[in-house]
Amino acid sequence: MRTPVTVKLFAGLGPKGWLAVALAALVGWVLVPMAHLLLPEGHPLHVSTYAITLIGKILCYAVVAVAMDLIWGFGGILSLGHGVFFALGGYSFGMYLMRQIGREGSYQSDLPDFMVFLDWKELPWYWTGSDHFLWALFLAVAVPGLIAWIFGYFAFRSRIKGVYFSIITQALTYAAMLFFFRNETGFGGNNGFTDFKRILGYSVTAPETRLALFGLSVALLLGALILGRVLIASKFGKVLTAIRDSESRVMFIGYNPLHYKLFIWTLSAMLCGLAGALYVPQVGIINPSEMSVANSIEIAIWVAVGGRGTLIGPVLGAGIVNLSKSWFTTSFPEYWLFFLGLLFILVTLYLPQGVVGAWAKLRSRKAAKPAAPAPAPSVKAAATPEPEMPAGSAAKGASA
């Protein structure tokens, strides 16, 4: 007998989880907008436009981190090319934003400025329909999804994994970056898309639009977390974790890992695409450097810092790394790279389970103190994972 989806959904999170979701939604949809619009500037609780755009951007990053965690933390596949899916989503939606500029560009043409400049007389075929909001949104999901599916199908079918897979995803993002840098590709070359004017007729700089985008980012993040939670709790999630821990054994039992990996890989790419679509109107620019190799590796570090194999970890990681980046680049610009580099090293050496893992360790130690001095077995297992399980068995400890 199959359980209805709604029941599954509800049971997947439990009452406390739903309470947390409701709280987060309250903050994101009601409190922040109120604090931004109603409180005067200078009030201690006023949320400035700067804060809204900064946090909105980080929320999008958090969604990417969650997507990354789905395949890395739970699927054991480290992608060094997730930036490409994020950017593809961004570009797809960016096309719509470019078309919305209409004739307000500096050449007063129906075509985007960079095309006028390249002497193009009409839109290239892949821009067809880009003036429709829904089509752009569909593209933002479908393009990364399709590319991920094709790439994943061949890669997983050939049983490429581990470091090899990471390296070829890196080749993918590098090739894509070079491709988008070309002016003839038709996406504005190095300058990419900027100077957006409106979405669905609303000005992109209006506070209401900003708040709507912010609210949508909150919603997307919550949605991604709920989806992740439900997936992981399902039978699918269990098989996926089993594949991560020992793919050959799962195969010998009779499962075909291809479908499981392919599904989670494609889903992850689609989530990234959506995050990219929300990111572009908030930061106001999309350019091929989003596909740079370094950016994609940084995504992995968000997840590692927060804690792999937990869902909340990546969100924390994205927040911590990006907020400290904003702070460091203002206060100690020379030392930002030292900090980031040391963070990479120390987290992988001493916090293999990230902040969330460390927190759990600390708590369990506290809890164990009055009873017995021995640490909890699950944590110990997590701290020294067997060599065969590259991604670590973190999930067992934190998401059980």
Sites for another protein among residues 296-315 (CB under 8 A): 297, 300-301, 304, 310-312, 315
Asked if 279 contacts 94 with a C-beta cutoff of 8 angstroms, the reply is: no
Q: Does 10 bind another protein (CB under 8 A)?
A: no
Among 106, 121, 200, 253, the residue binding another protein under the rule CB under 8 A is: 106
| Shorter beta-carbon distance to another protein: residue 126 or 359 | 359
Q: How would DSSP label each residue in 63-76?
A: HHHHHHHHHHTTT-
| Shorter beta-carbon distance to another protein: residue 124 or 207 | 207
- Cα radius of gyration rounded to whole Å, the chain: 22
Q: Does 191 bind another protein (CB under 8 A)?
A: yes
Among 289, 324, 368, 381, the residue binding another protein under the rule CB under 8 A is: 289
Question: Checking DSSP bridges between strand 285-286 and strand 202-203, what pairing results, if any?
Answer: unpaired
| Binding piece for another protein, criterion CB under 8 A, among 63-71, 96-104, 171-179, 257-265 | 171-179
| Binding piece for another protein, criterion CB under 8 A, among 2-10, 92-100, 160-168, 268-276 | 160-168
Among 250, 391, 393, 394, the residue binding another protein under the rule CB under 8 A is: 391
Q: Does 386 bind another protein (CB under 8 A)?
A: yes
Among 101, 149, 390, 396, the residue binding another protein under the rule CB under 8 A is: 390
Among 96, 196, 260, 302, the residue binding another protein under the rule CB under 8 A is: 196
Asked if 197 contacts 203 with a C-beta cutoff of 8 angstroms, the reply is: yes
Among 337, 362, 365, 377, the residue binding another protein under the rule CB under 8 A is: 337
Spatial separation of the C-alpha atoms in residues 248 and 164, rounded to whole Å = 17
Residue 188's region, left for phi above 0, alpha for psi from -120 to 50, else beta, is left
Q: Does 57 bind another protein (CB under 8 A)?
A: yes
Q: Does 207 bind another protein (CB under 8 A)?
A: no
Closest residue by Cα to residue 113 from 170, 186, 59, 172? 186
Closest residue by Cα to residue 356 from 374, 379, 335? 379
Q: How would DSSP label each residue in 106-174?
A: TT--SS-HHHHHTT--S--GGGTTTTSHHHHHHHHHHHHHHHHHHHHHHHHHTT--HHHHHHHHHHHHH
Query: 335 is written with which tokens?
Result: 């030392």
Q: Does 334 bind another protein (CB under 8 A)?
A: yes
- Location of structure tokens 């934003």: 97
Q: Does 326 bind another protein (CB under 8 A)?
A: yes
Q: Does 11 bind another protein (CB under 8 A)?
A: no
Spell out, one character per residue from 63 to 92, where the chain touches another protein: x when CB under 8 A holds, - when not.
Answer: ---------x-----x-x------------
Spell out, one character per residue from 266 to 285, where the chain touches another protein: x when CB under 8 A holds, - when not.
Answer: -----------------xxx
- Location of structure tokens 């060094």: 80
Strand partners, 286: 193
In whole angstroms, the minimum distance from the beta carbon of 188 to another protein comes to 8
| Shorter beta-carbon distance to another protein: residue 222 or 271 | 222
User: Segment 362-381, which members bind another protein (CB under 8 A)?
Assistant: none
| Shorter beta-carbon distance to another protein: residue 139 or 155 | 155
| Shorter beta-carbon distance to another protein: residue 135 or 209 | 209
* SS3 at position 199: strand
In whole angstroms, the minimum distance from the beta carbon of 19 to another protein comes to 7
| Shorter beta-carbon distance to another protein: residue 7 or 342 | 342
- Location of structure tokens 């898309």: 193
DSSP letter, residue 4:
P
| Binding piece for another protein, criterion CB under 8 A, among 134-142, 258-266, 291-299, 367-375 | 291-299
Those residues with Cβ within 8 angstroms of residue 313's Cβ, 6 or more apart along the chain or in another chain: 69, 73, 303, 306, 307, 354, 355, 356, 357, 398
* SS3 at position 286: strand
In whole angstroms, the minimum distance from the beta carbon of 263 to another protein comes to 19
Q: Does 335 bind another protein (CB under 8 A)?
A: yes
Asked if 343 contacts 300 with a C-beta cutoff of 8 angstroms, the reply is: no
In whole angstroms, the minimum distance from the beta carbon of 2 to another protein comes to 24
Burial of 251 (0-12, 13-18, 19+ CB in 10 A): middle
